[in-house]
Amino acid sequence: MASKMHPETAVIHAGHLQEPQGALVSPLYQSATFVFDRVETGSARFAGEQDGPIYTRLGNPTVAEFERRMAELEGYDGAVAFASGMAAVSAVLLGLLDQGDHLICNTCLYGCTHSLVSEQLPRFGIEVTAVDFSDVEAIRAAIRPNTRMLLLETPVNPHLAVYDLKTVAKLAGAHQLISVVDNTFMTPLLQQPKVQGIDIVLHSATKYLNGHGDVIAGVVCADQVHLELLRSRSLKDIGGVLSPHDAWLILRGMKTLALRMERHSASAQVVAEFLQRHPAVTRVYYPGLDGHPGKALIGTQMRAGGGVLALELNADFEQAVAFVNRLSLFKIAVSLGDAESLVQHPASMTHATYDNDDRAKAGIADTLIRLSIGLEHCDDLLADLTQGLAPLTASLAEEVS
Span 46-56, pLDDT tens digits: 999 999 999 99
What pLDDT is attached to residue 354? 86
Do the two domains 7-254 and 257-400 of this chain adopt the same fold? Answer: no
Span 139-181, pLDDT tens digits: 999 999 999 999 999 999 999 999 999 999 999 999 999 999 9
What is the architecture of the domain spanning 257-400? Alpha-Beta Complex (3.90)
Write out the CATH class of domain 7-254. alpha beta
What pLDDT is attached to residue 4? 82
Contact 307, 264 (CB under 8 A): yes
Span 254-305, pLDDT tens digits: 999 999 999 999 999 999 999 999 999 999 999 999 999 999 999 999 999 9
What pLDDT is attached to residue 2? 39
What pLDDT is attached to residue 50? 94
Residue 186 has pLDDT above 70, yes or no: yes
- Cα 330 to Cα 324: distance, rounded to the nearest angstrom: 9
Vertex 68: Cα angle to 62 and 73 (nearest 5): 130
Sheet holding 308-313, edge to edge: 281-285, 308-313, 368-372, 342-344, 331-332
What pLDDT is attached to residue 60? 96
Bond prior to 155 in cis (omega within 30° of 0): yes
Tell me the pLDDT of the chain averaged across its residues.
95
Instruction: Collect all residues with Cβ–Cβ distance below 8 Å to 264 and sequence separation of at least 6.
Output: 208, 306, 307, 337, 373, 374, 375
Q: What residues does each domain of the chain span? A: 7-254, 257-400
Q: What percent of the chain has pLDDT over 70?
A: 99
Contact 107, 132 (CB under 8 A): yes
- Cα 170 to Cα 105: distance, rounded to the nearest angstrom: 16
- Cα 74 to Cα 222: distance, rounded to the nearest angstrom: 9
Span 210-264, pLDDT tens digits: 999 999 999 999 999 999 999 999 999 999 999 999 999 999 999 999 999 999 9
Q: Which amino acids are annotated catalytic?
A: 57, 110, 182, 207
Q: How is residue 290 annotated by DSSP? A: T
Instruction: Indicate the pLDDT class of residue 347, thresholds 50, 70 and 90.
Output: confident
Q: How is residue 339 annotated by DSSP? A: S
What pLDDT is attached to residue 353? 82
What pLDDT is attached to residue 3? 52
What pLDDT is attached to residue 396? 77
What pLDDT is attached to residue 175? 98
Identify which of 263, 280, 282 has the alpha carbon closest to the alpha carbon of residue 376.
Answer: 263
Instruction: Indicate the pLDDT class of residue 400, thresholds 50, 70 and 90.
Output: low
Instruction: Please tell me the least confidently modeled range out of 83-87, 177-181, 324-328, 350-354.
Output: 350-354
Distance of CA 299 to the CA centre of its chain: 20
